[in-house]
Amino acid sequence: MDYIICEKPGLFDLRQTEVPKRHSDEALLEIKRVGICGTDLHAYAGNQAFFAYPRILGHELAAVILDVDDEAFQPGDKVVVMPYISCKTCVACRRGKTNCCTNIQVLGVHTDGGMQQKIAVPKDLLLPTKNLSYEEMAIVEPLAIAAHAISRAEIAEGERVVVMGCGPIGLGILKLAQIAGAVTIALDKNEQRLQFAKQQLGVAHTIDIGTDAVSQIKEITNGDLANVVFDASGNQKALESGPQYMAHGGRFVLVGLSKGTLTYNHPELHAKEATIMCSRNANLTDFKNAISLLEQKLFPTESFITHSVHYSLMINQFDSWLNPETEVIKAMVEF
């Protein structure tokens, strides 16, 4: 079978190997689609945290079961893979927070992922998705991350929400915040992504982050600023600027990940009695919420997936996806 490995930053290689043999607690899957996310782009560029090379990328997976020993599944079933392998015994797992397990192994990050024709994974990572297309299945994971961030923030109807970064995760947060009844405000420097948020998601307020965003948010919120601010960019400058958009008594949710040290002004945070929280990965409930969102056709999958290519051609395409001029929102690899 074929697989694609990232040997080191900037270098992919297409190789062949034997079909993996599954263990009794695993299912053998045939990969159908792999969504490309910021983690993959950052890994290829050499600036992804928690990463080591060489690595087979890919954790946004749509697959079909080839072989399994489990009454809950049958060969031919369409499944989404929850790519987070947790230890089930650490302090986080014991409290049900498997998404931040102290020993977590994320497919495509800590261990080899789905950029291969076939893969064996633990059965307890599989979710049946017979009502979704392969394309919809492959965007369940990023929408689940957005769902987890919304859950962490505990958004109330009518609250004002700012989302910094209109990539795949940020767009998911904007849509789910709308569904929760929030007034949404999108910040980005990419006009194409701001237009997507406005035209495809119905976001009323879009702001170029290179302008005086604070003044514009004050105008939108009658001077109050935002009850909740999400960073979905992972950009250090954005992560450090988030509190200035936040109202007194507000929450700042760090969804994006930066490798560097972040610096904040404590008096500013203290005066606002700010809550700063991180949102990492997603749990089973978040995945089910994402699947439900897609089953109800509440997310514009077709326009969201802007680029698609067969795996045999991916290596020659990947560099272009790093270029803003390519106008990638979500790239998809077909197997």
**What angle do helix axes 284-295 and 168-179 make, rounded to 10 degrees?**
80
* Rounded average pLDDT over 193-214: 97
What pLDDT, on the 0 to 100 scale, is given for residue 51? 83
Domain ranges of the chain: 2-139+299-334, 146-278
* Rounded average pLDDT over 31-55: 90
Q: What is the pLDDT of residues 268-293, one digit of tens each?
A: 999 999 999 999 999 999 999 999 99
Q: Starting at the edge strand that comes first in sequence, how are the strands of the sheet with 246-254 ordered? A: 205-208, 183-188, 160-164, 226-231, 246-254, 275-278
CATH code 3.40.50.720 for 146-278: yes
**Residue 277 in contact with residue 301, Cβ under 8 Å?**
no
* Rounded average pLDDT over 182-198: 97
pLDDT at residue 258 greater than cutoff 90: no
Question: What's the CA gap between 315 and 96, in Å, rounded?
Answer: 38
What pLDDT, on the 0 to 100 scale, is given for residue 310? 98
pLDDT at residue 49 greater than cutoff 90: no
pLDDT at residue 80 greater than cutoff 80: yes
* Rounded average pLDDT over 121-148: 97
* Rounded average pLDDT over 127-145: 97
Q: What is the pLDDT of residues 290-323, one digit of tens each?
A: 999 999 999 999 999 999 999 999 999 999 999 9
Fold of the domain spanning 2-139+299-334: Quinone Oxidoreductase; Chain A, domain 1 (3.90.180)
Among 134, 135, 115, 168, smallest CA distance to 315 is for 115
DSSP per-residue codes, 202-244: --SEEEETTS-HHHHHHHHTTT--EEEEEE-S--HHHHHHGGG
What pLDDT, on the 0 to 100 scale, is given for residue 48? 77
pLDDT at residue 47 greater than cutoff 90: no
pLDDT at residue 50 greater than cutoff 80: no
Q: Do domains 2-139+299-334 and 146-278 have the same CATH topology?
A: no
Q: Model's pTM, two decimal places?
A: 0.95
pLDDT at residue 98 greater than cutoff 90: yes
